[in-house]
Amino acid sequence: MSTFQAPKGTYDLIPPRSAKFLAVREAISAPLKNSGYGYIETPGFENVELFARGVGESTDIVSKEMYAFETKGGTKLALRPEGTASVLRAALEANLHKAGNLPVKLWYSGSYYRYERPQAGRYRHFSQVGAEAIGAEDPALDAELIILADQAYRTLGLREFRILLNSLGDKECRPVYRDALQGFLRELDLDEDTRRRIEINPLRVLDDKRADVQKQLVGAPMLRDYLCDACKAYHEEVRELLTAAGVAFEDDEKLVRGLDYYTRTTFEFVHDGLGSQSAVGGGGRYDGLSEMIGGPELPSVGWALGVDRTVLALEAEGIELELPASTSVFAVPLGEEARRVLFGVVTELRREGIATDFAFGGRGLKGAMKSANRSGARYTIVAGERDLAEGVVQIKNMESGEQSAVALGRVVEELRSRLSS
Helix, strand or coil for residue 125?
strand
Residue pLDDT, tens place only, 235-280: 999 999 999 999 999 998 878 765 667 889 999 999 988 876 788 9
Q: How many CB atoms lie within 10 A of CB 279?
A: 19
Order of strands, edge to edge, in the sheet holding 403-407? 356-358, 329-333, 379-383, 392-397, 403-407
User: Please, what sign has the CA dihedral across residues 214, 219, 224, 226?
Assistant: negative
CA–CA dist 83, 50 (Å, integer)? 11
Q: What is the DSSP letter of 269?
A: E
Q: Which residues of 1-33 are buried (b: 16+ CB within 10 A; e: fewer)?
A: eeeeeeeebeeeeeeeeeebeebbbebbbebbe
> Is 398 in contact with 378 (CB distance < 8 Å)?
yes
CA distances from 350 to 171, 256, 327, 354, 357 (A): 58, 51, 11, 5, 9
Distance from C-alpha of 317 to C-alpha of 197, rounded to nearest angstrom? 38
A 10 A CB-CB count for 219 gives 7
Which residues, in sequence order, are bridge partners of residue 128?
A: 110, 306
Q: Residue 138, exposed/middle/buried by CB under 10 A (0-12, 13-18, 19+)?
A: middle
- Cα-Cα end-to-end distance for the chain: 53
Q: Which residues pair with 76 in a beta bridge?
A: 70
Confidence at residue 57, expressed as pLDDT on a 0 to 100 scale: 63
Tell me the domains of the chain and their CATH numbers: 17-173+227-316 (3.30.930.10), 329-420 (3.40.50.800)
At 193-237, the pLDDT tens digits run 888 888 877 887 887 778 888 888 888 888 888 999 999 999 999
Separation of CA 72 from chain center? 32
Rounded Cα distance, 256 and 268, in Å: 9
Residue 208's Cα: distance from chain center in Å?
25
What is the share, in percent, of the chain residues with pLDDT greater than 90? 67
Are the C-beta atoms of residues 208 and 237 closer than 8 Å to each other?
A: no
Give the model confidence (pLDDT) of 362-398 as tens digits: 788 899 999 999 999 999 999 999 999 999 999 999 9
pLDDT at 183 over 60: yes
Name the strand (E) or helix (H) holding 201: none
**Residues of the chain with pLDDT > 70: what percent?**
96
* Mean per-residue pLDDT of the chain: 91
pLDDT at 22 over 70: yes
Q: What is the mean pLDDT of residues 105-123?
A: 87
Instruction: Please report, as a single letter, which amino acid is at residue 288.
Output: G
Amino acid at 260: D
**Dmax over Cα atoms in the chain, in whole Å?**
93
**Closest by alpha carbon to 171, among 329, 328, 291?**
291
User: Cα–Cα distance between 76 and 70 in angstroms, integer?
Assistant: 4
Note whether 80 and 30 are within 8 A (CB): no
Q: Answer for the pair 331, 358: CB distance below 8 angstroms, yes or no.
A: yes
Mean pLDDT over 395-402 rounds to 93
Q: What is the pLDDT of residue 398?
A: 93
pLDDT of res. 103? 96
Query: CA-CA distances (angstroms) from residue 322 to 19, 95, 318, 373?
Result: 10, 41, 13, 19
pLDDT, residue 249, reads: 97
Q: Which residues pair with 125 in a beta bridge?
A: 113
d(CA 245, CA 171): 29
- Which pLDDT belongs to residue 117? 79
Lowest mean pLDDT among 68-77, 98-107, 320-329, 337-346: 320-329
Query: Which pLDDT tens digit goes with each residue over 140-181?
Result: 999 999 999 999 999 999 999 999 999 999 888 888 888 898
Q: Is 421 exposed, middle or buried (0-12, 13-18, 19+ CB in 10 A)?
A: exposed
Q: What is the mean pLDDT of the segment spanning 115-144? A: 91
